[in-house]
């Protein structure tokens, strides 16, 4: 009798965990669909739900950053980009987005540092590096000797 209870408990736990993993993935996928449809409020809610199930879901943080960029909420955008980079320092898109933010702030030294790092990690977005470097040349270095 005890063996049957253990087997049923393990089976129940396995099914529950599988459904939670599926729910987290469906929240992200549905959020991505809403994002592509430009339904940003709905997408934001779904990405936030995805993060509740998986706090290390860097893709949801990245999409939230993009939504906050669209909403022109710079502090939330940067916070989400920083979270992506905390989870995956080599995330190419997050590094690129952070360079764009720092360019807008005219933060020469930070953009230079990020561009050097970007050169080491770029895979898909390498062509965007040249536009960043061109913009970097237009900035006056601050406090540089």
pLDDT of res. 70 = 95
pLDDT at position 19 over 60: no
Q: How far is CA 66 from CA 38, 61, 79, 133, in A?
A: 11, 9, 11, 22
The arithmetic mean of pLDDT across residues 77-97, rounded, is 95
C-alpha–C-alpha distance, residues 81 and 78, integer Å:
5
Contacts 24+ apart (CB under 8 A), 101-106: 101/74, 101/77, 103/132, 103/135, 103/136, 103/139, 106/139, 106/140, 106/142
C-alpha–C-alpha distance, residues 80 and 64, integer Å:
7
Per-residue pLDDT band for 45 (boundaries 50, 70, 90) equals very high
Per-residue pLDDT band for 131 (boundaries 50, 70, 90) equals confident
pTM tops 0.85:
no
> Which of residues 133 and 29 earns the better pLDDT score?
29
Nearest Cα to Cα of residue 77 among 85, 87, 66? 66
Nearest Cα to Cα of residue 115 among 138, 135, 144? 135
The arithmetic mean of pLDDT across residues 107-123, rounded, is 81
> Which of residues 67 and 10 earns the better pLDDT score?
67
pLDDT of res. 58 = 96
């Amino acid at each position: 009798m005890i063996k049957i209870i253990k087997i049923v408990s393990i089976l129940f736990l396995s099914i529950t965990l599988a459904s939670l993993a599926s729910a987290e993935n469906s929240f992200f996928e549905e959020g991505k669909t809403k994002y592509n449809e430009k339904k940003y409020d709905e997408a934001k809610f779904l990405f936030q739900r995805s993060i509740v199930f998986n706090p290390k879901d860097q893709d949801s943080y990245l999409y939230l950053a993009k939504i906050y960029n669209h909403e022109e909420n710079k502090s939330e955008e940067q916070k989400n980009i920083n979270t992506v980079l905390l989870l995956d320092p080599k995330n190419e898109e997050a590094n690129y987005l952070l360079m764009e933010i720092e360019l807008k702030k005219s933060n020469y030294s930070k953009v230079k540092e990020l561009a050097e790092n970007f050169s080491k990690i770029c895979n898909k977005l390498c062509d965007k590096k040249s536009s960043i470097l061109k913009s970097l040349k237009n900035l006056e270095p601050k406090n540089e000797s």
